[in-house]
Amino acid sequence: MHATLPLLKATDFPAIRRRAVETLQVNLGYTCNQSCLHCHVNAGPNRREQMDRATVDHVLDVLVAKDIRTLDLTGGAPELNPHFRDLVREARSSGRHGGVHVIDRCNLTILFEPGQEDLADFLAAQQVEVVASLPCYLEDNVDRQRGAGVFDKSIRALQRLNALGYGRDEGLPLTLVYNPQGPSLPPEQVGLETDYRRFLGERFGVVFTRLYALANMPIARFGSTLVSKGQFRDYMGKLRAAHRPENVEHVMCRSLVSVDWQGFLYDCDFNQMLGLHLHEAGQRHGRLHLEDWLEMDLAGNPIIVADHCYGCTAGQGSSCGGALA
């Protein structure tokens, strides 16, 4: 049972508007082989929500019609969606510029799940960028946050990806993702990346392209944990106090649209989890769908903001592409 989160209230976060959409971030479903403490999606093995083939087709239609260059696949474990590989193949061969760039938000341990034995080879063959969660380079910290034995499996998965050229070849980028263990802001990204490279390289021979340092959002599973420990208000205060106005210019929602497993649109993945739908005229049932987007232009559209947005602008900033500053 998760603690009840405080209701969203009017926020003084700055008003912002969209630019042209460059990235379509698609949540293929909430099914996952892990149940991480920091997960803002509440994903896990018992979740059954999965995007169907008809909605996958709408994703492909939008990629072409809107000339979107990057498809960012997330979940849950996106690879567990039965249409994941078809979507990757068709996206890589579509678009007006020789194929869409595809990102797989991978938890690494999925490579060892039954039926996924050839997943790493598939990703390499399709030149999919792997963005892999590894919230620390120390075993105890990772296993505490993500489950017993996860660190060992993650290292073996990284070694397998390295053997295929990931993190070594220019066309096979491998990005690692750091999350703090609790209600604190991530350390400076550049210095942390140096520490990761040194430790993982010396201890395990692992190499990677870059590191993203992400702040934990005070929503869903992590937010409920904060509430249950009486830390929610303090963490929100920390995010507000660390707000840097210059980060507002670079937040990901200006050029990204988030899509849920049913095909409805949001300004970002966090708004998706809070049910804050992207607003525009012509919505169906009060919500904007991929099908509706084909008939309209979202550039200049106001972005729905709330207090959790301070998580993206605090300190060095945080987005799906790492630090902003």
Residue spans of the domains in the chain: they are 23-313
On the question of pLDDT at 95 being above 80, the answer is no
pLDDT score of 1: 41
On the question of pLDDT at 281 being above 70, the answer is no
Burial 216-247 (b: 16+ CB within 10 A, else e): bbbbbbbbbbbbeeeebeebbebbbebbeeeb
Q: What is the pTM of this model?
A: 0.91
252 or 48: whose pLDDT is higher? Answer: 252
On the question of pLDDT at 133 being above 50, the answer is yes
66-85 per-position pLDDT tens digit = 999 999 999 888 999 999 99
pLDDT score of 175: 97
In 3D, which of 186, 178, 309, 183 has the Cα closest to residue 234?
183
Structure tokens at 80: 């567990």
The pLDDT confidence band at residue 282, using thresholds 50, 70 and 90, is very low
16-57 per-position pLDDT tens digit = 999 999 999 999 998 887 655 555 666 666 777 899 999 999
Cβ contact 69:95 at 8 Å: yes
C-alpha distances in Å from residue 145, one per residue of 37, 68, 149, 177, 182: 6, 34, 11, 14, 9
Q: What CATH architecture is 23-313? A: Alpha-Beta Barrel (3.20)
C-alpha distances in Å from residue 184, one per residue of 150, 226, 239, 262: 22, 11, 9, 33
C-alpha distances in Å from residue 178, one per residue of 141, 209, 211, 212, 267: 11, 14, 7, 6, 23
pLDDT score of 33: 74
pLDDT score of 182: 83
To the nearest 10°, report the CA torsion of 73, 21, 129, 151. -50
109-131 per-position pLDDT tens digit = 999 999 999 999 999 999 999 99
On the question of pLDDT at 2 being above 60, the answer is no
On the question of pLDDT at 140 being above 80, the answer is no
User: What gap in Å lies between CA 146 and CA 32, rounded to an integer?
Assistant: 12
Phi, psi of 31 (to 5 degrees): -70, 130
pLDDT score of 5: 54
Q: Which of 166-175, 269-278, 293-302 has the highest mean pLDDT?
A: 166-175
